[in-house]
Structure 1
Amino acid sequence: MEEKKFDFNTIIGFGLIFIIIIWMMYNGQKTSQNERLEKARIAKDSIQKAKQTAPKKVALIALDSTVTDSAKIKQLQGTLGSFAYSSTLPSAKENFTTLENEFVSLKIANKGGYVVEATLKKFEKFKKNSGKLVELIKDNNSSFNLQLQTKDNRVLNTKDLFFEPTLTKVGENQILSMKLKAGVNEYLEYKYVLAPNKYLVDFDIQTRGLNTILNTSKPIDLQWGLKSYRNERSISYENRYAEIYFEYEDGKIDYVAQGNDKEENPEKATFIAYKQHFFTSILLTKTPFENAKLYSNDLVKDEKKDTIFTKQYKATMPLAFSNGELDYKMNWYYGPTDYNTLKSYDRNLEKIVPLGWGVFGWINKFIFIPLFGFLSSFMGLGIAIIIFTILIKIAMSPITFKSFLSQAKMKVLRPEITEIGEKFKKDPMKKQQETMKLYNKAGVNPMAGCIPALIQIPFMYASFQFFPSAFELRQKGFLWADDLSSFDQIFKLPFHIPLYGDHVSLFPILAAIAIFFYMKMTSGDQAMAQPQQDGMPDMAKIMKIMIYVSPVMMLIFFNSYGSGLSLYNFISNLITIGIMLVIKKYFIDSEKIHAQIQENKAKPKTESKFQKKMREMMEQAEAQKQLKNKK
């Protein structure tokens, strides 16, 4: 191997390179210093000239005549344009201002000027996290942005820019002005006004003097997003009632369907509500949005893994300029989805509470809500549900009585109806005619038993809408149930049963048992009350099947529902059984009913117009049938 020797030529070469680098650095530093001095002189001359010729534009160039600030603004102007001024203000740092009253605490950031924390001071999360207040906004789960279009074709996002806060107090109202400044008198302002004892916050958006900077020929986009936090015990049950509601076209209310990637595009929208089960974030405007793009996505794919968020909400609405300026009077609502609280603001907000459509909504609005609200104002919620159920069932008892009485009459007539069926087995039309004559002579209406049952159905359906929406039940306990708005778990299963869940709730079991005994006691009478028709299924068999199917359905589907609804159904069925026993024992005597029917048969009967019309139609049908048979 050849021995390496010391090469003096290499040493000399490296030395020369080192000297050249030192010389270049020295001259470069000297040149840079000269350039900085020249730039400082130019900036100073520009500021002096601006002060003399255009005072109002000083703010667009620098805060003062120092070299550092002028250089900073020139650098920022490359990306922010005139709004570079805002980024040199003392507020151009991560800082926050808090508005707070007895109900809500709002934290507004300098950067973006929007609410970054919204805490409800009267409510806690589900019992597992007892002591932690409900937070609708925190840890960047919400965004609010105006996308500004400048005359030189820049697109600026307010969420990335710094606003200057000014907090004042007028009387008991807290007023926070957040200004994004392009000059002393040129700014975009968010104005928040929080009054005592309110969840509703006044929120104005306006511009001043920006018509020379912004492109005002077309609207700018307001973008609002929220990932809604879980706040209740059952994330699946909570998620079932989480959706976007909106008001549009002068008072119409609609919602975005649940599921993945659901969208709606309402016109003339006046509020957008990001509704959770028991809490809601709402943006309202007095100047309707011409159109809106609303988006909802379900974030709960696996209940065991997806336990933090329920829905992803997004909305984009245009803000139109008027005479070159923005001027929108708006409101924020961060608070409970409570019917009476929302109604108190007289802005149609209570309609986001799902009470059912048509007659179901009327029952909830005019009967259930006032009555339950009155009872719950001076007694415990569990007792209030029981008293409420008793009052509803007592009010419905005359209808129940008529239904049972009709069943008893039909039961007495059943032997004669069966006899007619046998006699005219081969002539269904004649059999129908004779059956109708029997009903007429006996003074029995076969529909009398159905109509009372139909009247009770709306009340039953209304209860299915009312109790899941009753905010009063949230975190109120009764007996073993620690929260009447959630399931009353008495045992945790080590596995998950499809449709049923991974726990055992007691109130659904009690309700299922009550339904079983109620149907066991009434199924025989109902089957006997219905005459058997040719080609129709045997009612006795159907009722026998329903005796077992109905309790199982109650057990399965109500296991994860709020225990308040299960308690209502349990008490309701118990009371119905009691009323039925009392009616059967003291008000319905089969022998007396039979005697009355026989007496009615002996009396001459006059046909009503309806009965006459029905008889004539049946006779015509029979004549046509006979004529067809002859041919």
Structure 2
Amino acid sequence: MEEKKFDIKTVIGYALIFGLIIFWFYKNQPTPEELEAQEKAKQEQVEAEKKAKEDKQTLVTPPEDYAPAANLDSLGLIQLKNKLGILAYSETLATGKNETVVETDVFKLTFNHRGGYLSEVKLKQFVDYDSVPIYIIKDNNAVFNLDFGTTDSRIINTKERYFQPTVSKNGENTIVSMKFKVTENKFLEYRYELKPDDYMIDFSVKSQGLNDVINSSQTINLDWKLKGYRHAKSISYENRYTDVHYEYEGGKTDYTGARDGEEVLEDVTWIGYKQHFFSSVLLTDNAFKTATITTENLVEDEEIDTVYTKMFASKIPLELKGGEINESMDWYIGPNDFNILNAYDRNLDEIVPFGWGIFGWINRYVFMPLFGFLGGFMPYGIAIVVMTILVKILLSFVQYKQFLSQAKMKILKPELDAIREKHKDNKMKAQQETMALQTKAGASPLAGCLPALIQLPVFYALFQFFPSAFDLRQKSFLWAEDLSSYDTIAELPFHIPFYGSHVSLFPILASIAIFFYMRLTTGQNMQSQPQQEGMPDMAKMMKYMMYFSPIMMLFFFNNYASGLSLYYFISNLISIGIILVIKNYILDEDKIHAQIQENKKKPKKQNKFQTKMKQMMEQAEQQKQLQQKKKK
């Protein structure tokens, strides 16, 4: 047998092969990043197996109409702990749609199963300026969310959770129950009760069996947000009347106005998001201790066809009762019709901005009933004309008193000018004799101002009334398609600042009527004013006002409701007619002059105010004389 010999070449060959293998493993070993990725993949696999195991232990079967669970990873599992361990709600078996639709005489409501809130509210009896149905809620413009902590240190946002819907009947009423279930007997419920032909929804938020799940040491917040849709032709006009109204402290009401801002309220019983002619109001049986409301204007450029007007938001801390959530509320979603709102006897009629104090009183108890009566048997445009005529006839005695006072001052003007010329170096003396002459003659500049002041409450009340009258909405008259919006006789190819890109005829007619009315009244005032230093400048200013006021009216009202411009046009036409009748057929300047002379002969007893004024003027004159003597 041949003896094997030690072969150095073989050894070297094996050594080289072994070295190459070592070098290959060294070059191809995983990087730290790759090692971390492998470890993460293993961990995810373990968690997936654990999750699958938990899904088999699901305690509640999802409703049949839930969405497929393809988005399970993005939604996650609803997991809460209690004394018995993990309670899980899985979406893996869910199939079908994600919404429930219910209709009444006035609503078409869509409830989204995710969040349990209304995802769409259509008011069936109304359309907007472009004949599109009125939607208060649509395309995710609203949020209703409860956020609360759990005993296992989780934060639950109900807007992200799925609710199980149930629709039932209670007589003629429809009940929609949306339950976010932990088990069959443990859940959070939104309950909506809808009545036929009623815009008020009975609404409640209640929990059952969650006292050992909800962390009572953390605040439970109700977040309610809404982006108001544009419904009117003029978004700037609509935005002017879009704001938040609320009731607090036992029946007091207030509103934010059109400004942006944030307010902290106390003892709030209702909060209303008002969008000029429509509102969404959340009412509570037991006042919220605090609420933070914010408003934000979403109209950056009024020339652009904007979709939204304002963003409203409310944050309301809720209190637990026995460890559970139990809030009984109501929800009004509907028109700002004074009669509808007033019928609920919840102070909701305060949403209609009739004005404060005497202005609101005049609108509520005079103009509202009168306009409702007239509109019951005649077109609303004719009703505006008739109401304007009645108001002007009622106030005609005021204009008569005003014009009579101006006529007396005009007759006395030569004598008053003579007094001022006589005492041109002693203004105090001239003023004393002027007052004495006016008192004897029974004429006073104040007598012409007081009637004008009497008309101001009526003027302002009607200014508030017409933009707030829901009955005028989409009612046509002559060329105006909608008396609650501006009328258009021409569209401009460009935008004029403060005016717009359209031409409205009613403001033009109202401006012309104001010009002629001011020409009559300003001319009478200028003739009745005595000549004095600075009078030429005063006369120029009054002339400027005669032209400036109609121009201001033209620009200011071009985007306002045509019903308001119609009122001012008719009102000024009637005023012109009354003045011409008084001037040409009622007042006789010769008779007035004769009466003044008779009054001057009679001893005139001064009232307390006149006596006091005379004493003050005499004292001032004496002090002036003493100062002049000291200087000498």
| Unpaired segments ≥5 residues, structure 1 | 1-8, 18-27, 48-57, 64-68
Matches within 5 A, 1:62-73: none
2:362 is matched with: 363
The one of 103, 125, 128 aligned to 1:125:
128
Structure 1 CA distance for aligned equivalents of residues 588 and 330 of structure 2: 65
The 1:146/1:89 distance shift into structure 2, 3 A limit, reads farther
What does residue 116 of structure 2 align with?
Answer: 113
1:590-620: CA deviation from partner (whole Å, max 9, x where unpaired): 0000000001111122232332222222222
Q: Report the AA paired with residue 253 of structure 1.
A: T
Q: Distance in 2 between matches of 1:305 and 1:133?
A: 21
Distance apart, 1:383 and its partner CA: 0.3
Distance 1:77 1:227 in 2: 30
TM-superposed deviation, 1:443? 1.8
Secondary structure of the equivalent of 2:159? helix
Looking at structure 1, the residues matched to 436 and 166 of structure 2 have their Cα atoms a distance apart, in angstroms, of: 86
Measure, in 2, the Cα distance between the counterparts of 1:328 and 1:533. 72
Q: TM-score normalised to the size of structure 1?
A: 0.86
Q: Using the alignment, how far apart are the partners of 1:102 and 1:531 within structure 2?
A: 68
Map residues 197-596 of structure 1 onto 2, 5 A cutoff. 197-260=197-260, 262-534=261-533, 538-596=537-595
Provide the C-alpha distance between the structure 1 equivalents of 2:350 and 2:272, rounded to a whole number of angstroms.
Answer: 11
Letter in 1 for 2:356: W
Distance 1:235 1:84, change over 3 A: farther
* Contact in 1 for aligned 2:239/2:258 (Cα 8 Å): no
CA deviation vs aligned residue, 1:411-435 (integer Å, no higher than 9, x gap): 1111111111101111111111101
Distance change in 2, residues 1:180/1:62 (3 Å): closer
Matched residues in 1 for 2:222 and 2:173: separation? 27
Does the aligned pair in 1 maintain the 2:381–2:477 contact within 8 Å? yes
Q: How far apart, CA to CA, are the structure 1 residues paired with 2:265 and 2:51?
A: 58
Following the alignment from structure 2 to structure 1, what is the Cα–Cα distance between the partners of residues 207 and 297? 36
Report the Cα offset of residue 158 of structure 1: 0.6
- Per-residue deviation, 1:91: 7.2
1:148: how far off?
A: 2.1
Indicate the SS of the match to 1:152.
coil
The worse-fitting range, judged by mean Cα deviation, of 585-594 and 298-307 is 298-307
Cα distance, 1:250 vs. partner?
2.0
Tell me how many residue pairs correspond in the alignment.
581
- Between the aligned partners of 2:314 and 2:50, the Cα distance in structure 1 is 50
1:101 aligns with 2:108: no
CA offset digits 1:167-224 (Å, max 9, x no partner): 1111111111111111122111111111112111000111111001111234300011
User: What do the CA deviations read for 1:429-461 (whole angstroms, capped 9, x no partner)?
Assistant: 111110111012112233111000011112112
* CA deviation vs aligned residue, 1:71-120 (integer Å, no higher than 9, x gap): x99x9657555796554597786422233221122111211111111111
Contact 2:77–2:89 at 8 Å: present in 1 too?
no
Q: 1:84 to 1:229 in 2, by over 3 A?
A: farther
Q: What's the % identity of the aligned pairs?
A: 54
SS in structure 2 of the partner of residue 468 of structure 1: helix
Alpha-carbon spacing, 1:627–1:450, altered in 2? closer, same or farther (3 Å): same
Q: Any conservation in 2 of the 1:62–1:85 contact (CA below 8 Å)?
A: no
Structure 2: runs of 5 or more not aligned:
1-19, 29-40, 64-68
Structure 2 match to 1:54: none
> What letter matches 1:240 in structure 2?
R
Q: Which residue of 2 aligns with 1:154?
A: 154
- When residues 59 and 575 of structure 1 are mapped into structure 2, their CA distance, relative to the original with a 3 A threshold, is same
Over residues 294-340 of structure 1, what are the superposed CA-to-partner deviations in whole Å (9 max), with x where a residue is unaligned?
Answer: 12111111234352111111111111101111111111111012222
Question: Are the aligned partners of 2:55 and 2:90 in contact in 1 as well (CA < 8 Å)?
Answer: no
Relative to structure 1, the CA distance from residue 269 to residue 467 in structure 2 (aligned partners, 3 Å threshold; closer, same or farther) is same
Q: 1:306 to 1:294 in 2, by over 3 A?
A: farther
The whole-number CA distance in structure 2 between the counterparts of 1:350 and 1:38 is 55
Q: Distance in 2 between matches of 1:245 and 1:542?
A: 41
> What residue identity is the alignment partner of 2:612?
K
Partner of 2:35: none
Check whether the contact 1:244–1:274 (CA below 8 A) recurs between aligned residues: yes
8 A Cα contact 1:149 1:214, kept in partner = yes
Give the C-alpha shift of residue 503 in structure 1: 0.8
Q: 3-state DSSP class of the match of 2:313?
A: strand
Counterpart of 2:183 in structure 1 is: 183
CA contact (8 A) 2:241 2:258 kept: no
> TM-score scaled to structure 2, two decimals?
0.86
Cα distance in 2 for residues equivalent to 1:253 and 1:395: 33
What CA distance in whole angstroms lies between the structure 2 residues aligned with 1:171 and 1:37? 48
Mapped to 2, the partners of 1:348 and 1:398 lie a distance apart of: 37
1-side partners of 2:55 and 2:544: how far apart? 92
Q: Which moved more, 1:613-622 or 1:407-416?
A: 613-622
C-alpha RMSD of the superposition: 3.0
Q: Compared with structure 1, are the counterparts of its residues 595 and 266 closer, same or farther at alpha carbon in structure 2 (3 Å cutoff)?
A: same
Q: Is the 8 A contact 1:275 1:281 kept in 2?
A: yes
Cα distance in structure 1, aligned partners of 2:338 and 2:525? 40
Within 2, Cα distance between the matches of 1:349 and 1:359?
19
Aligned to 1:258, the other structure's residue is in SS state coil
Q: Secondary structure, in 3 states, of the residue corresponding to 2:197?
A: coil
Following the alignment from structure 1 to structure 2, what is the Cα–Cα distance between the partners of residues 305 and 448? 50
Residue identity matched to 1:504: V
Contact 1:527–1:539 (Cα < 8 Å) also in 2: no
Aligned to 2:17: none
Matches within 5 A, 1:39-58: none
1:61/1:377 CA distance change after superposition, 3 Å: closer
Say whether the 8 Å CA contact 2:285–2:328 is kept in structure 1.
yes
| Partner SS for 1:447 | helix
In structure 1, the residue corresponding to 2:188 is in which secondary structure?
strand
Query: What one-letter code is carried by the residue in structure 1 that aligns with 2:602?
Result: K
The 3 A distance-change label for structure 1 pair 154 and 460 is: same
Cα offset, 1:236, TM superposition: 1.7
Q: Does 1:163 align with 2:163?
A: yes
Q: Spell out structure 1 runs of 4+ moving beyond 4 A.
A: 35-40, 60-63, 75-94, 532-538
Q: Which amino acid in 1 is paired with 2:185?
A: N
* Pair 1:251–1:400, CA change in 2 (3 A): same
Decide whether aligned partners of structure 1 residues 604 and 327 sit closer, same or farther in structure 2, where only a CA change above 3 A counts: same
Corresponding residue for residue 51 of structure 1: none
Question: Match of 2:204, SS?
Answer: strand
Residues 536, 586 of structure 1: alpha-carbon distance in 2 compared, 3 angstrom cutoff: closer
Q: Distance in 2 between matches of 1:418 and 1:505?
A: 46
